[in-house]
Structure 1
Amino acid sequence: MSLNDVRKSISSTLYRQIGRANSRVQEHRSLPVDILEDDDSYLVVFDAPGVEIDDVQVRYLDGNVRIQIDRFREFHEGYEMRFPGRGLALDGEAELPDDAVVDPDAATARLTELGTLNIEIPKEDPLEEAEADSNSDSVLETRSETETETETERITIDD
């Protein structure tokens, strides 16, 4: 084995270890999120690159929107994994303002072609909220929009 071969072997090993470490850091860090508000609803926007509809779970619990993403790496024929730097199990959380009164049963989510997950949660009249059953399960509709078609999936939100 030549000195050049040793260098390549060490370099390759270090490169893979850095990729694995980067992937683990990404899996332990919360996904970036924006919370927007208008007169009728809150819009929670997560960065979710490389995600398919079936990869996403959304929950609403005590004023928090939580997402869990389990994505997969595509196999690329003829290529070998050199740097596994993208985390596969990702999560994120967004806390709505303390005074937010929302209707999670009417929430919808849309997964865009660009890799953002937009969760819209309508505001609720505080008088109606007192009458609502807070222990029911909510279903969140998720749409994935592409140029040619629109897919719709249902995601359960646990209250």
Structure 2
Amino acid sequence: MTGVTEYGRSAVNAVLSRVGRGMGHVQERKPLPYDLLESEEEYLIVFDAPGVKTEDIQVKFVETTLEVRIDRFRDFYDGFEMRFPGRGLSLTGSVELPEDASVTKTDANAAATLTRSGTLQVKIPKTMNTKTVAVEEEPDEDEE
């Protein structure tokens, strides 16, 4: 009976591994969804980015397009093996910006913030073409 149990466990592990990789590939093929909001002075683009760290995110402007890449990796835990891989993934998204939001290399008013609630918020003034933006963590409420 032990051989049958081990065979069954091995088959389940193989299925879980394929399902995890498959789900990761499905997520990676979909563009990263976003919301584009506008005020009188600026635009705000909000991406969902749960479980990422600032070093996992790349934000850059290429002419009139905002490009975002998230390479989300999961920590390893001592004493545990990965049974269901699929939580680490690469996501990309791009937003064609409105005509009045052109970014210049010298404009320091564009900003990207990773919030504690797991969103990436990119603010772009309405008077701003290729620029990389540093992503900062939202300060703790105690620091404000």
Please report the TM-score for the alignment, with normalisation by the length of structure 1: 0.75
* CA–CA separation in structure 2 for the residues paired with 1:6 and 1:142: 47
Please say if 1:111 is aligned against 2:110.
no
Q: Secondary structure at the match of 2:22?
A: helix
Per the alignment, residue 39 of structure 1 pairs with 40
Tell me, yes or no, if the aligned pair for 2:37 and 2:45 is still in contact at 8 Å. yes
Tell me, yes or no, if the aligned pair for 1:27 and 1:87 is still in contact at 8 Å. no
Q: Which amino acid aligns with 2:51?
A: G
Per the alignment, residue 28 of structure 1 pairs with 29
Per the alignment, residue 102 of structure 1 pairs with 101
Question: Which ranges in structure 1 are unaligned for 5 or more consecutive residues?
Answer: 151-159
Q: Which amino acid aligns with 1:18?
A: V
1:146 Cα deviation after fit: 4.7
1:5/1:141 CA distance change after superposition, 3 Å:
closer
1:32/1:79 CA distance change after superposition, 3 Å:
same
* CA–CA separation in structure 2 for the residues paired with 1:138 and 1:7: 53
Tell me, yes or no, if the aligned pair for 1:35 and 1:43 is still in contact at 8 Å. yes
Please report the TM-score for the alignment, with normalisation by the length of structure 2: 0.82
Per the alignment, residue 10 of structure 2 pairs with 9
Q: Secondary structure at the match of 1:21?
A: helix
RMSD of equivalent CA atoms: 2.2
Q: Which amino acid aligns with 1:102?
A: A
Q: Which amino acid aligns with 1:52?
A: K
Per the alignment, residue 138 of structure 2 pairs with 145
Q: Secondary structure at the match of 1:2?
A: helix
Q: How high is the sequence identity, in percent, across the aligned residues?
A: 41
